[in-house]
Structure 1
Amino acid sequence: MELQSTQDIINASLQYELYGKLIAQLDKDFRFANIHIEIAPELTPEQLKLQLHETVYGLIQNAFADYLNLLYIIDVPEDKIKQLDGSDTLLLSEQVAFLILKREWQKVWFKHQYK
Structure 2
Amino acid sequence: MQLPQTFEDLISEAEGFELYSKLIQQINKDFLLANIDLDFDESILPSSLKYMLHEIVFKLIQEKFAEYLNLLYITDVSEIKIKRLDGSDTLKLSEEVTFLVLQREWQKVWFRNNYS
TM-score tier by shorter-chain length is over 0.9
CA distance in 1, matches of 2:101, 2:27: 9
Extract unaligned runs of 5+ from structure 1.
none
The one-letter amino acid paired with 2:93 is L
Q: Does 1:9 align with 2:5?
A: no
Q: Name 1:58's counterpart in structure 2.
A: 59
Cα deviation, 1:1-23, whole Å, max 9, x if unaligned, reads: 33111111111100000000000
The one-letter amino acid paired with 2:11 is I
Q: Name 1:83's counterpart in structure 2.
A: 84
Q: Name 1:107's counterpart in structure 2.
A: 108
RMSD between superposed Cα atoms in Å: 0.7
Q: Output the TM-score relative to the length of structure 2.
A: 0.97
CA distance in 1, matches of 2:97, 2:3: 17
The one-letter amino acid paired with 1:79 is I
Query: Runs of at least 4 residues of structure 1 off by over 3 A?
Result: none
The alpha carbon displacement at 1:40 in A equals 1.3
Q: Name 1:25's counterpart in structure 2.
A: 26
CA distance in 1, matches of 2:68, 2:9: 24
The alpha carbon displacement at 1:37 in A equals 1.6
The alpha carbon displacement at 1:38 in A equals 2.9
The one-letter amino acid paired with 1:108 is V
Q: How many residue pairs get matched?
A: 115
The one-letter amino acid paired with 2:65 is F
CA distance in 1, matches of 2:17, 2:114: 11
Q: Does 1:38 align with 2:43?
A: no
Extract unaligned runs of 5+ from structure 2.
none
